[in-house]
Homo-oligomer: A and B are copies of this chain.
Amino acid sequence: MTPRQNNRWVQHVTLTPPSLEDNTADADRLAKALSDGLGTDTVRIDTSLLKAIPFQLREWNYQATGVLFKEKDGSGVLVHLASPDSDNPLYGLAIDLGTTRIVLRIIDLVTGENLGESVFDNPQIAISPDILARIHHVEKPGGLDELNRLLIDGINDQLQHLCSQCDIAAKCIYLAAVAGNTAMTHLLLGLTPRWMIREPYIPVVNSPDVVRTSDLGIDIHPNARTLIFPNVGSYFGGDLIAGILYCNMDQLEETAILVDVGTNAEVVVGNRNWMMACAGAAGPALEGGVSKMGTMAGPGVIDRIGLDQDSLTMEIHTIGDLKPRGICGSGVIDLAAALFRSSMIDIRGKLVPERCGERFKIKNGFGQITIVPADQSATGEELHITQADLDSLIRSKAAMYTILETITGTVGMQPQDLKTFFIAGTFGTYIDPESAIAIGMIPDLPLSNYKSLGNSSLGGTTRLLKDHTCFDRIGDIRNGITYMELNVNQDFMNRFSAAKFLPHTDLSRFPSVKVPDK
């Protein structure tokens, strides 16, 4: 029995035919060969597959191609048996289950190739864009079913389109992997998230079983299996576990950090020996935090801003190089850094009217600064940032830095000791670390230490579908994380207050940042 050595879930096996000296049954003979390829003690074979196996093995001259997966406890399971021809269509489906957006990606389980993607708004937005409102909706009669149905129907619709585009049959998809936050995965499974938002914030399940995809209602092969990435708690979901897998934090020798700023800020610090996590929902200043300022990243949104120090001219960049119609978090951070470098805001983030010149206005008693005049914007309205926006940014950046300081502190480190700083998600894609360092939001590390991961949730699910060794890592990552509740105590508040200055009260922490003279 000589399975090809590879890490795919698809394993080709050649069996020694049975003889009087070796009368092992067909299924057990096959299971043994498949488990050798997967590195498991055993591979379970569904009764539904058993019936055909004796005929298939004899027809195929004791060669076969198996699509395998694992159960939660790590044992192997045969999902599908195909002829030993190399051209079987065997696909996998990776799902990033975002609160706002969902991404489907189809991959070839044999080659690992990405065959196509579909990005669409989470259909539950029809109930509410806000996850908390959706959780409350669950308590209405039929509310849970409604949210579940929206999600499943939406996925099935988009999957059908995607399969048409890629010219593949959905029934040739045998494996799926889903990562999302804890509330979203609960809604996918039809489980109530109601106790997640009530002290002591308990999910129904941390590590769901591998499920039959048909039990979820997703229309792929009827025997297909789905892994839903496990969560560490109500505020640390499977999307983060997927991110850790994707950036290989669990295999790094030197300590790294992974930060995901979405609806919440989630942070994990660690290396191959340990991992410590926390979520920023505990930081009151992060409510309505960075990502909610301005608009979400999208075409025509300002993602980068520079400021000529002499002429004080704004140099703006929009996504897609379109006329500007808004500003996203990374743009605001760039702006704040630029304003600070030019002394147009002071170390508390307050606008300095005499430095801002004609861009400065007072409306309704509050200062604001123009970024794009009305005649240059896509909307025909002026784009500006108010003092309130800047105050909010300062609170957010201070909360972020305080969280980083707190979590590194619990392991006897300081933020500036981190060797690699992974930034996940859209925020990570657009943010300029130099600006974020300039305002003291993130530690003053060499820029090369910062790595933007892009959609690490989708990346992690894809990784699993391409490499079966990731399966056990996922369980190990989940079980290896120490989740720390952020105690917003006096100590935290003292750190938070110190971090509310630009870049920080303790300038020695930000040696690269040139603080302008008063």
Q: Residues of A at under 8 Å CB distance from B?
A: 18-20, 23-28, 41-42, 44-48, 50-51, 53-55, 71-73, 75, 189-192, 194-195, 199-209, 211, 215, 231, 233-234, 483, 485
Contact, CB under 8 Å: B44 / A191: no
Bound CA span A34–B26, Å = 35
Bound CA span A192–B205, Å = 40
Contact, CB under 8 Å: A205 / B27: yes
* Residue of B with least CB distance to A200: B20
Nearest CB of B to A474, in Å:
15
Contact, CB under 8 Å: B50 / A205: yes
Contact, CB under 8 Å: B26 / A203: yes
Contact, CB under 8 Å: A44 / B73: yes
12 CB < 8 A contacts A-B:
A18-B202, A23-B233, A26-B195, A27-B205, A42-B72, A42-B73, A47-B189, A47-B209, A50-B191, A53-B204, A54-B194, A71-B75
* Residue of B with least CB distance to A483: B23
Contact, CB under 8 Å: B208 / A47: yes
Bound CA span A51–B207, Å = 14
Known: A51-B190, A73-B44. A23 touches B200 (CB 8 A): yes
Contact, CB under 8 Å: B202 / A23: yes
Give the contacting residue for A24; candidates B23, B206, B485; CB below 8 A.
B206
Contact, CB under 8 Å: B26 / A202: yes
* Residue of B with least CB distance to A207: B28
List 8 additional A-B contacts (Cβ < 8 Å) besides A18-B202, A23-B201.
A20-B485, A25-B205, A28-B205, A47-B208, A47-B215, A54-B195, A54-B202, A54-B204
Bound CA span A195–B27, Å = 13
Known: A202-B18, A202-B25. A208 touches B72 (CB 8 A): no
Nearest CB of B to A46, in Å:
7
Bound CA span A102–B301, Å = 75
The listed residue with most B CB atoms (<10 A of its CB), out of A18, A54, A75, A192, is: A54
Kindly list the 8 A-B residue pairs having the minimum CB-CB distance in the complex, ordered from nearest.
A27-B205, A25-B203, A25-B206, A73-B75, A28-B206, A20-B200, A18-B202, A25-B205
Contact, CB under 8 Å: A73 / B204: no
* Residue of B with least CB distance to A144: B51
Residues of B within 8 A of A54 (CB): 191-192, 194-195, 202, 204
Contact, CB under 8 Å: B19 / A51: no
Bound CA span A4–B343, Å = 70
Known: A50-B204, A54-B195, A72-B44. A23 touches B209 (CB 8 A): no
Residues of B within 8 A of A51 (CB): 190-192, 204
Residues of B within 8 A of A485 (CB): 20
Bound CA span A157–B209, Å = 35
* Residue of B with least CB distance to A41: B73
Residues of B within 8 A of A203 (CB): 25-26
Bound CA span A402–B215, Å = 56
Residues of B within 8 A of A75 (CB): 71, 73, 75
Residues of B within 8 A of A191 (CB): 50-51, 54
* Residue of B with least CB distance to A43: B73
Bound CA span A417–B199, Å = 69
Bound CA span A305–B27, Å = 48
Bound CA span A19–B234, Å = 13
